Structure 1
Amino acid sequence: MTNPATRAATPAPRAEVVVDLDAIAANTAVLRERVGRPLMAVVKADGYGHGLVPAARAVLAGGADMLGVALLDEALALRAAGIRAPLLAWLHNPGTDFAPALDADVEVSVNAEWGLAEVVAGARATGRPARLHLFVDTGLSREGATMADWPGLVSAAVRAQAEGHVTVVGLWSHMAYADAPTHPTIGAQVRVFDEAVAVARSAGLTDARLHLANSAATVALPETWYDMVRPGVALYGLDPLGGNAADHGLRPAMTVRAGVALVKRVRAGVGVSYGHTYAPERETTLALVPVGYADGVPRAAGNRAPVLVGGARRTIAGRVCMDQFVLDVGDAPVAAGDEVVLWGPGDRGEPTAQDWADAVDTIHYELVTRIGGRFTRRYVGSAGAV
């Protein structure tokens, strides 16, 4: 085994998340070409863990027509970074001050009359009419006005538009089961959305664009595309249907890697990590990887999740700890400093985020948005470079 003291004078980071900006741009272009209509690229939650501002620049380089975020703070961070593309923010608490967003030309969404009143207050304070989207709940039972409350919200928005405080530019909703393209809720939600649109159109909101399709619907459900699609996770190369992203022409943009911190030979039967939930059946080499649940590696990955090390896949041995986990590498010539890939595109035989999701019974959305902690983030590719 190589002595780590003989390695390069400038060692690789202890652990890093590598983000391929060109992959994000290419994924955006694939989806934009697929739908042949405007695309709102969702970059909320720090660009799904890929970096808010770099991800936004990359999707715009790939042809996105506008950006979507959940929070006004996210929208204002994009504006502070010099990004001037059309931009929607949709998740607001009572008492939100909309004035900074309206001054920054951020479009906003409401799903209740009290929310509309707060937007109107911001418009009055700034003298700038808000570009407004109205959100209807078509069956997710999360955000959105119910169909019982929808006519009142529409009427209030029509009045606010007549008074010059808002311009209603969007009508929208979100799907509950688009990742199961034959599920009966899809047709039901489309019918409710069409009913809601008819109410708004009959009230005079004839120019607002319609958007319903998330990533899964953008990939699989053309009947939901309407005037604009709103993909998120697919932009980052992850299959929203839980399969192989390459089947949709997408490439994962994130690689998560670390360096082995220590190797040691141990006897058969020795207990490994907290609770001794793993014990090797014979004498073996253990490799210590210096990342853990404080860095977003799920504790549930212990004895379940795969990694690539020494040219082979290995399963985490024992429990994931706060700062580290252990691998049983057998007799392989693994040394301190060697690369361990948790997940990536899969080109080199490494696991993908989908493999990890399957192993720990979650979804890749959670994995890529959680990973971080003390990882260093590094960008490759030139898409959207300033």
Structure 2
Amino acid sequence: MHTYSVTLPGQGEINYQDTRRYGWMIATFFPLVPLLSIGLVMLSGREWTLWIPLLLIYTLVPLLDFWLGEDERNPPEQIVPQLEDDRYYRYLTFAAVPMFFITLIAVAWFVGTHDVGWSGFAALVITTGVVNGMAINTGHELGHKKPRLEKNLAKMVLAVPVYPHFNVEHNAGHHVQVATPEDSASSRFGESIYRFARREIPGGIRRGWQLEKRRLAQLGRKPWSLSNNILQSLAMSVALYGLLAGFFGWFALAFLLLQAPIAWFQLTGANYVEHYGLLREKLPDGRYEACQPRHSWNANHVASNILLFHLQRHSDHHYHASRRYQSLRHFDDAPQLPSGYVGMLLLADVPILWHKVIDPKTLALVDGDLSKLNVDPTFSSEK
């Protein structure tokens, strides 16, 4: 196990080992899960086996979160510069990018060249869509970094689920307006995930385009140009999907077009969970207070954090957006989710259960004062 070490005057030697160092490789290779689906059906000849990997994701990951529990340990701040400079961690995110392309191409080939029934087709659409939701997460990690290579890789991986506006909208929109009523990517208290999706998905597309149009105008360029970051990623999507449809036919194209919205909904689910009901205080000058750890829901569950490149340490991500995943910290004052994101998304999919479990926790954060929450306008406390 690699040991990071620093000696400081008056403090002596500080040592740190990342116990998850090699566990992060799971996030790199997890995008290949749909290939397991194909392998199972080709070995068994039974189409129902295509559903097995999807069922494992939504049962095994929450069970592992429960079994392995939470890990609140943080790397020592004195070690963080070494941890951030260790290129091993960024190589894992780099390596994840081609995995999503391999999977998309392989599944498109399979559905386009094999006799797949509707049940098997649905299994592959949903499983691939769920996995490609993680493509957006990988693009999220890469897109927050300054090096041009990482920003370009982010555009590439976002081409897989056709979500080209994400990094523009997320970095310059969501991070500015997070935990306010103005933010389309911050869910409101009393709002179901389905109502949120109708606001968040089109709102993100509109805001992303407006932000990119404004950026280009400041440079004296038109929005419909090669300099448009959104159009660059979109062009990759069109080329990728067009080539796959050309090689593997209309059934493959139908698969591609149906799995993409499933991926979008995974991102919507993450956004829904991450800031539900939380509100930054409006200051006398009309601006909002700076984003603090208390404005994001956090989760320290080991299994799902490894799977998602530490996305669930979301409080520190918004507090220090450029921090790399291996350095993100737990804060005692951050609201804590009762499960990792996979379990929470399952809960959110059943609104009556979500509100029964999470609404009391949210109200407890503000001692029941609804004026301190980001509340859905249609919500009634008498419901």
Query: Shorter-chain TM-score: which interval?
Result: under 0.3
Q: Which has the larger radius of gyration?
A: 1
Higher strand share: 1
The alignment's TM-score, normalised by the length of structure 2, stands at: 0.24
Higher helix share: 2
